[in-house]
Amino acid sequence: MKALRYAKRLIEFNSTSNRSNRAISKYLEMKLTKHGFIVERTGYVDRKGVRKVNIVAKKGTGYGGLAWFGHSDVVPAKRWFSKKYGPFEPAVARERLYGRGSCDMKGPIACMLEASQNFSWEDFQHPLYIVITADEEVGFDGAKVVVTDSKYYREMVQHQTKAIIGEPTMLDVVHAHKGCYEFTATASGVAKHSSGREGVNANMKLIPFLSDMKEICDQTETDPALQNTNFDPPSLSFNISIEGDKTGFNVTSSKAMCHVNFRPMPDVDHTPLIERVKKLAQQHELKLEFHSYGEPLWVSPDSNFVASALKLLHKKNALTVPFGTDGGVLAELENKIVCGPGNIAQAHTKNEWISLEQMHQGTEVYSKMIRHWCC
Check residues 145 and 247 and name the one with the higher pLDDT.
145
Task: Find all residues with CB under 8 Å of 305, minimum gap 6, and list them.
Answer: 162, 299, 335, 336, 337
8 Å CB contact between 258 and 206: yes
Structurally, at CATH architecture level, domain 180-294 sits in 2-Layer Sandwich (3.30)
CA distance 104 to 137: 10
Q: Where are the domains of the chain?
A: 2-177+296-374, 180-294
Per-residue confidence (pLDDT) for residue 220, from 0 to 100: 97
What pLDDT, in 10s, does the model give residues 155-176?
A: 999 999 999 999 999 999 999 9
Per-residue confidence (pLDDT) for residue 245, from 0 to 100: 87
Of all residues in the chain, the percent with pLDDT exceeding 70 is 100
* Residue 160 identity (one-letter amino acid): Q
For 2-177+296-374, which CATH class?
alpha beta
Q: Evaluate if residue 95 carries a pLDDT over 90.
A: yes
Q: Evaluate if residue 293 carries a pLDDT over 90.
A: no
Q: Evaluate if residue 278 carries a pLDDT over 90.
A: yes
Of all residues in the chain, the percent with pLDDT exceeding 90 is 94
Q: Evaluate if residue 249 carries a pLDDT over 90.
A: no
pTM of the model: 0.94
